[in-house]
Structure 1
Amino acid sequence: MRTIVISDIHGCYDEFNTMLEKVRYRPAEDQLLLLGDYVDRGMKSKDVVEQVIKLHEQAGAVVLKGNHDDMMLKALLEENARYQYHWLSNGGSQTLLSYCSEVITGNIMEPEVFQAAKTYILEHYRHHLDFLQSLPLYHEGEKHIFVHAGTNPAYPDWKEQPGDDFMWIRDAFYNHPTGLGKTVVFGHTPTFHLHHTGEVWFSPHGDKIGIDGACAYGHRLLCLEIGNDDEYKTYAVPNAANEWPEDSPLEMESTEP
């Protein structure tokens, strides 16, 4: 059985489906692993979430939670203006448009406009939120650990690290050996920040593989295939809109609302 790993789809619905076709994904024969961040920045977040739910329920895909999925949940399920602003400032406005453009009649940053959009989503797509809320933070295999952002080397038992670390950690993870004896496959940090190319990143320590190709920034969606013999193959699908030049800087979201 092949393991097909994709992360940080970020509303790039067309590219996601192109990738599934490119790798010739066969639900009955392959294990699909999705590492989080299905929403924000891209323009088809609703369609991505709907498809991910079907892949999980009908094809047994393993689906993990990312920091953007968590930001969306906090903004829509908690009465906290800081959460709302943090989400909208980091791609959430595109997600709202994908869910309810018909009810957004003004500046989405205005409280009354946001509240109308929030009410619409809670009434029509609560099952999407329930699904995202139920997602685990990691998946462990025989030779690999799959997470959205990484593991914290400060914790001898990586499973005991704070939940936010699974979704948000960066430098403390990828700049240091994990010492876990398994390869950690992660997204979250665009590979441009790891080795200045848009390709899958294999760490010098041999203990990490980064697969966030920054598709929603106009770059590419990446995929890692782990074969039956544990050999790796990588795939890339360029952003269909090609909105950003290849050398464009990537502005990563802040961790605090």
Structure 2
Amino acid sequence: MRKIVIGDVQGCLDELKALLDLLDFKSSSDQLIFLGDLINRGPKSLEVLEFLYSMNHCVSNTLGNHDLHLLALAIGNQPYREKDHSIKPILESKNKINLIEWLRHQPIMHEEPSFNSIMVHAGIHPSWDIFQARSMAREIESLIQSNNASKVLSRMYSDDSWSADLEGTRK
């Protein structure tokens, strides 16, 4: 089985499909690992999510900042802005609930034993070791998947700095 790692699709479905064709991707035997930002800048954010959701059996994804922004719009009480226009079709989709639930259950950090690697969207704080990074990733994943998700996601946009002294949704 091949493991194909792809970053920042950004709503560009046609380009993603062209890349998969070039790689002769086989959903029956290959695994796709995405490193966040599935959506936003390109014209087909909804279609990217639907495409990957339909191949859930062979797709892993880490959440990126654009994916987290979508979650904040969908469940975090973050107000819609005109510059979010590429996300609007997702928010209006008949399949919105399934797509949002699928996305909010994606990890922040992907561990790949076959590569002896960890993968994230935008990096790990340089002072953290692997154990702290794993712990922080699991904590935020748990919060995003909890009943407190809207509170956590709405705080993503505050001016408060992260602090090790904080716990739970306050962190």
Fold-level match, TM-score > 0.5?
Answer: yes
Structure with the bigger percentage of strand: 1
Match of 2:110 among 130, 139, 142: 139
For residue 41 of structure 1, what is the aligned residue in structure 2? Answer: 41
1:132 match: secondary structure: helix
Q: Is the 1:44–1:95 contact (alpha carbons within 8 Å) kept by the matching residues of 2? A: no
- Equivalences for residues 7-18 of structure 1 within 5 A: 7-18=7-18
For residue 136 of structure 2, what is the aligned residue in structure 1? Answer: 161
Structure 1, residues 49-108: CA drift from partner, whole Å, max 9, x if none?
001111213xx2212211111101111212243xx34xx54xx21221x44xxxxxxxxx
For residue 4 of structure 2, what is the aligned residue in structure 1? Answer: 4
Match of 1:152 among 125, 138, 141: 125
In structure 1, distance between residues paired with 2:140 and 2:121: 9
Residue range with higher mean Cα deviation, 7-16 or 30-39: 30-39
In terms of Rg, which structure is larger? 1
In structure 1, distance between residues paired with 2:48 and 2:39: 7
For residue 71 of structure 1, what is the aligned residue in structure 2? Answer: 69
Distance 1:45 1:164, change over 3 A: farther
For residue 152 of structure 2, what is the aligned residue in structure 1? Answer: none
In structure 2, distance between residues paired with 1:141 and 1:38: 20
Q: Is the 1:42–1:95 contact (alpha carbons within 8 Å) kept by the matching residues of 2? A: no
1:146 match: secondary structure: strand
For residue 148 of structure 2, what is the aligned residue in structure 1? Answer: none
Letter in 2 for 1:39: I
Structure 2 runs not aligned, ≥5 long: 142-155, 159-171
Letter in 1 for 2:135: E
Q: Is the 1:63–1:136 contact (alpha carbons within 8 Å) kept by the matching residues of 2? A: yes
In structure 2, distance between residues paired with 1:77 and 1:71: 10
Shift in Å at residue 2 of structure 1? 2.0
In structure 2, distance between residues paired with 1:6 and 1:51: 15
In structure 1, distance between residues paired with 2:125 and 2:136: 7
Distance 1:79 1:28, change over 3 A: closer
Shift in Å at residue 163 of structure 1? 7.3
Distance 1:162 1:20, change over 3 A: closer
Q: Is the 2:39–2:87 contact (alpha carbons within 8 Å) kept by the matching residues of 1? A: yes
Distance 1:140 1:80, change over 3 A: closer
Distance 1:125 1:80, change over 3 A: closer
Task: Name the TM-score, length of structure 1 as normaliser.
Answer: 0.49
Aligned pairs, number: 140
1:140 match: secondary structure: strand
In structure 2, distance between residues paired with 1:47 and 1:14: 10
In structure 2, distance between residues paired with 1:135 and 1:126: 15
Structure 1, residues 168-208: CA drift from partner, whole Å, max 9, x if none?
xxxxxxxxxxxxxxxxxxxxxxxxxxxxxxxxxxxxxxxxx
Q: Is the 1:11–1:41 contact (alpha carbons within 8 Å) kept by the matching residues of 2? A: yes
Q: Taking every aligned residue pair, what percent have the same amino acid on both sides?
A: 27
For residue 93 of structure 1, what is the aligned residue in structure 2? Answer: 85
Shift in Å at residue 141 of structure 1? 1.8
> 1:127 and 2:98 equivalent?
yes
2:86 match: secondary structure: helix
